[in-house]
Structure 1
Amino acid sequence: MGVEIESDIWEPNPALYIFLFVCCCLSIFYLPARATASNVFDHASSASFLRFQRNFLVLFALSSVLEGSRAVFGEYEFAIYKLTKDQMVNTLCIGYAASVLAGSFLGVVSDLLGHKKVVLLFCILHLCTSVWKIVVGAQVIWLGTITLSVASLIFSFSFEALMVVEHNKLGQRQDSLNDMFWLMTFFECACFVGSQAIGNYLINGDVNKNITNIWKESVVVALLIIVHLSRSWKENPKSASFKDYSVLFRRHVVGDKRVWLLSWVQACIHFSTAAFWILWAPTIVADGREVSLGLLYPCLLGFKMLGCTGFPWMSHGPLATRIEEYLMYAFVVIGVALTVVAYDYQEIEFLLIIFCLLHACIGLVLPSLARLRSVCVPNEIRGGMMSLSLVPANAAVFVMLLLRGYYQCIGNSTILAIAALGQFSAAWCMYTMKKWGKQLHLSEHSL
């Protein structure tokens, strides 16, 4: 008599999704008095700013759906096309190498030529890649990896730079800019979850047959963004020359130690996030555990949404404190979480708690760093500073993929440990900026 052994696939409790939804709704509804839901979308009753705010959030939401489709299903295509492990590693390495090369100049180009043009390039890259995949299929996977990696790089800096520049042109106060920072993180996560839901609907249970529906969706969304961007934005041509730009860059970036610290912090959080998303699945399915990873993805993004709503409370709410101070503790928590994941085997439930805590902290960190950049970095060089700060992070991921994938010199735990060390160093950077801020305040008070 044969015995059939059933294998249970672990899934999160459905009550967790209800809990996340209720918490996110409450966090929006009970924002601090200066950042209530009505005030967030009605600053100083300025019709021009309100129109800009809504147009930008529509643009950013559509772009997040486009980027989310790539983030959710991009690497899954490797398995569909039956790529070997070495081919997958090679593809990822090519993508990060392209990001390193493009990051060294794309931000500068964005500052000189205009952020709208670079955002338009983001849409064109997605559009062309999706059309190529529909027509050619698997033969274009290498080229698609390069173009989509460059598009992801643009997504990481150009939309924020565009929003800040246009915001300042309208002469709005700082409170409205702070709200836009956390709203961008909130909308990004919500649209990533929406991309997963749309993708699952389009695939309809048959990945091999319906995978082209994902690319067709990307074509439609990219065309909508191009039309919206062309009709809603009229960007003035840049008048600054490269010589003037380089002088301004050296004066504010090279000569300001705060910018160096912010660049390092940005690189650390980018590297840690990239390392996590590459290794989270192998970590949670260790020892042959079967887990429904698609159900964990929205949980992580939900906690990131919840974390970003803490920014109004920490910046100008009842819990208001210095940004450097609470960021210092947030980086320590992220570092401890990565250390636990790296060196301590845990059950799935505990790992999920650690992952959710980590993403809640990241959700708080991202708008806070954007706020610090607004204080320390002039808008004229914001894109260049952000893209250049991502170069060492992408280069580090590239090296880690080579050492782990090809040469088997290091393990997953070592990569996560390096990411944890980066977070502890980011906490030290925040401590240093906090100390410098206190010294500057005391010197001004003595004068």
Structure 2
Amino acid sequence: MEVFYFLVFGALSAVVAVIELSKNNKDRVNTTTAFNSFKNNYLLVYSLMMAGDWLQGPYVYFLYSTYGFGKGEIGQLFIAGFGSSMLFGTIVGSLADKQGRKRACVTYCITYILSCITKHSPQYRILMVGRVLGGIATSLLFSAFESWLVAEHNKRGFEQQWLSVTFSKAIFLGNGLVAILSGLFGNLLVDNLSLGPVAPFDAAACFLAVGMAVILSSWSENYGDPSENKDLLTQFKGAAVAIASDEKIALLGAIQSLFEGSMYTFVFLWTPALSPNEEEIPHGFIFATFMLASMLGSSVASRLLARASLKVESYMQIVFVISSASLLLPIVTNILVEPSKVKGGSISFAGCVQLLGFCTFEACVGIFWPSIMKMRSQYIPEEARSTIMNFFRIPLNIFVCIVLYNVNAFPITVMFGMCSIFLFVASILQRRLMVIADKSKTEDWASMKDKNMEAEPLNI
């Protein structure tokens, strides 16, 4: 493995360590013992859930290829997963508001465990069922757990700012440290212990089962709108009305779809971007480096969110612009650096520059997650939180399905250019969201002041 990879990994590790160790009282939020106990319980469950997810990711394509399926058939399996998340996942995720968020989290565990079990079969139809189950589970993972956390946090009377602490820690652990450890553990099972490509899925099922046991034994149930006279269609209509009537919610959904759509597209593009001539690159080590960059971003986000005077809507504009610029690097290097025609070998100079840009983008991803969670907790109404969050994922899943279906139809530079444009548009929408949010706060303050003046007795 080249020294370059170690230098990047070491530099990111050093920066993360410095940021974490140099935190002072201004960068920390003073909390209570009761909140810390609640937070640690959620972080344990969230880390187990993410371990169950991260263990599978690096080996899905590899497993399908070992069963003898070609690129087209594997692409159809992936499309089935995203399509399932869009259709069935939206319905199942929305039921969490009415049937209970804890129940939805348990459903996630059961559904994903069943999906893992299907990986033992080489039959295409059974694998397709597994992808459908996985799509449903993904929708629940990105809606039910956050909805439960926000509702339970408010129900227990904790301060609103403390939510940011839980969000940033969850991303630091679940999307950073756990992702790195899961990649190393999966590599140990498959390569070192030679247990085969199904082993990570079995391990994932075990982590999910442990997490489900913790949920069942320590979590209480909470609901969005439990009224029995509201069917699923009524819930959907209510969520659609909420999005259409509140520009802040609509903007938040558009921003999320644009960023996550670019992020999932990047997942498919970074490998061919770094090895256009089949250069030998350490995929697992690069993945771990990306996750370390994401940890760096979450560390920065924890400091930003700890400062009550700093608005999320303000700094996220800068984050989107930086992420947009970072995904322009493949286009810039393609223009400025003459592409090599030699097959194989080590990573090129252009690839090294792109890798640094991709690490920058992953750092932006680490900032994005806790920040978008914070904004969702502020703007999305509690009674339809899971339903609206799953509505946000519909355009995202449509976009990813289209990209997967046409992944070979466009040059890779065009795909990166499209993602860069989407991210820049997200920064513009973020600016609009900040303006509207400030205007709403000003109007609310003025209205409250008028009411207080009316309530004051007149001294005659």
TM-score by length of 2: 0.86
Which residue is 2:14 aligned to?
A: 22
Question: Does structure 2 retain, via aligned residues, the 8 Å contact 1:65–1:192?
Answer: yes
Which residue is 1:122 aligned to?
A: 108
2:179 to 181, 192, 209: 192
Which residue is 1:31 aligned to?
A: 23
User: Does the C-alpha gap of structure 1 residues 144 and 343 become closer, same or farther in structure 2, counting only changes over 3 Å?
Assistant: farther
Query: For residue 215 of structure 1, what is the amino acid of its counterpart?
Result: F
**The residue matched to 2:404 in structure 1 has which SS?**
helix
2:277 equivalent to 1:287? yes
Which residue is 1:220 aligned to?
A: 206
User: Does the C-alpha gap of structure 1 residues 13 and 336 become closer, same or farther in structure 2, counting only changes over 3 Å?
Assistant: closer
1:149 to 127, 135, 142: 135
Which residue is 1:314 aligned to?
A: 304
Distance (whole Å) between structure 1 residues aligned to residue 235 and residue 376 of structure 2: 18
**The residue matched to 1:286 in structure 2 has which SS?**
coil
Q: CA deviation at 1:358?
A: 0.6
Q: Deviations over 1:208-241 (max 9, x none)?
A: x522322321232122122111111121566324
Question: Does structure 2 retain, via aligned residues, the 8 Å contact 1:265–1:426?
Answer: yes
1:22-61 matches, within 5 Å, as: 22-36=14-28, 43-46=31-34, 49-61=35-47
Which residue is 2:96 aligned to?
A: 110
User: Does the C-alpha gap of structure 1 residues 133 and 434 become closer, same or farther in structure 2, counting only changes over 3 Å?
Assistant: closer
2:70 to 61, 75, 84: 84
2:74 equivalent to 1:71? no
Q: Which runs of 4+ in 1 moved over 6 A?
A: none
Question: Does structure 1 retain, via aligned residues, the 8 Å contact 2:97–2:384?
Answer: yes
Distance (whole Å) between structure 2 residues aligned to residue 322 and residue 150 of structure 1: 34
Q: CA deviation at 1:248?
A: 5.4
Distance (whole Å) between structure 1 residues aligned to residue 222 and residue 322 of structure 2: 43
Q: CA deviation at 1:413?
A: 2.5
Which residue is 1:377 aligned to?
A: 380
Distance (whole Å) between structure 2 residues aligned to residue 437 and residue 202 of structure 1: 49
Quote the sequence identity (%). 19
Q: Deviations over 1:240-288 (max 9, x none)?
A: 2426856753563321000000000011111011100011111111123
Distance (whole Å) between structure 2 residues aligned to residue 246 and residue 149 of structure 1: 19
Number of residues paired by the alignment? 427
Question: Does structure 2 retain, via aligned residues, the 8 Å contact 1:103–1:388?
Answer: no
Which residue is 2:429 aligned to?
A: 429
User: Does the C-alpha gap of structure 1 residues 332 and 73 become closer, same or farther in structure 2, counting only changes over 3 Å?
Assistant: same
2:352 to 345, 349, 354: 349
Distance (whole Å) between structure 2 residues aligned to residue 12 and residue 75 of structure 1: 27
Query: For residue 28 of structure 1, what is the amino acid of its counterpart?
Result: E
2:406 equivalent to 1:418? no
Question: Does structure 2 retain, via aligned residues, the 8 Å contact 1:119–1:154?
Answer: yes
Query: For residue 301 of structure 2, what is the amino acid of its counterpart?
Result: F
2:91 equivalent to 1:99? no
**The residue matched to 1:288 in structure 2 has which SS?**
coil
Q: CA deviation at 1:111?
A: 1.2
Distance (whole Å) between structure 2 residues aligned to residue 107 and residue 144 of structure 1: 18
Q: Deviations over 1:162-202 (max 9, x none)?
A: 11111111110022101111111111121111111111111
TM-score by length of 1: 0.88
User: Does the C-alpha gap of structure 1 residues 250 and 348 become closer, same or farther in structure 2, counting only changes over 3 Å?
Assistant: closer
Distance (whole Å) between structure 1 residues aligned to residue 365 and residue 104 of structure 2: 26
Distance (whole Å) between structure 2 residues aligned to residue 10 and residue 30 of structure 1: 31
Distance (whole Å) between structure 2 residues aligned to residue 301 and residue 12 of structure 1: 17
Which residue is 1:340 aligned to?
A: 329
Which residue is 1:239 aligned to?
A: 226
Query: For residue 25 of structure 2, what is the amino acid of its counterpart?
Result: A
Q: Deviations over 1:127-182 (max 9, x none)?
A: 11222333x34543222222222222221222211111111111100221011111
Distance (whole Å) between structure 1 residues aligned to residue 65 and residue 366 of structure 2: 30
Distance (whole Å) between structure 2 residues aligned to residue 78 and residue 137 of structure 1: 8
Question: Does structure 2 retain, via aligned residues, the 8 Å contact 1:93–1:401?
Answer: yes
Q: Aligned-residue CA RMSD in angstroms?
A: 2.4
2:266 equivalent to 1:276? yes
Distance (whole Å) between structure 2 residues aligned to residue 11 and residue 203 of structure 1: 25
Which residue is 2:294 aligned to?
A: 304
2:247 to 244, 250, 257: 257
User: Does the C-alpha gap of structure 1 residues 374 and 342 become closer, same or farther in structure 2, counting only changes over 3 Å?
Assistant: same
User: Does the C-alpha gap of structure 1 residues 212 and 365 become closer, same or farther in structure 2, counting only changes over 3 Å?
Assistant: closer
Distance (whole Å) between structure 2 residues aligned to residue 388 and residue 340 of structure 1: 32
Distance (whole Å) between structure 1 residues aligned to residue 389 and residue 417 of structure 2: 25
Query: For residue 415 of structure 1, what is the amino acid of its counterpart?
Result: M
Q: CA deviation at 1:304?
A: 0.8
Q: CA deviation at 1:118?
A: 1.6
**The residue matched to 2:325 in structure 1 has which SS?**
helix
Q: CA deviation at 1:397?
A: 1.2
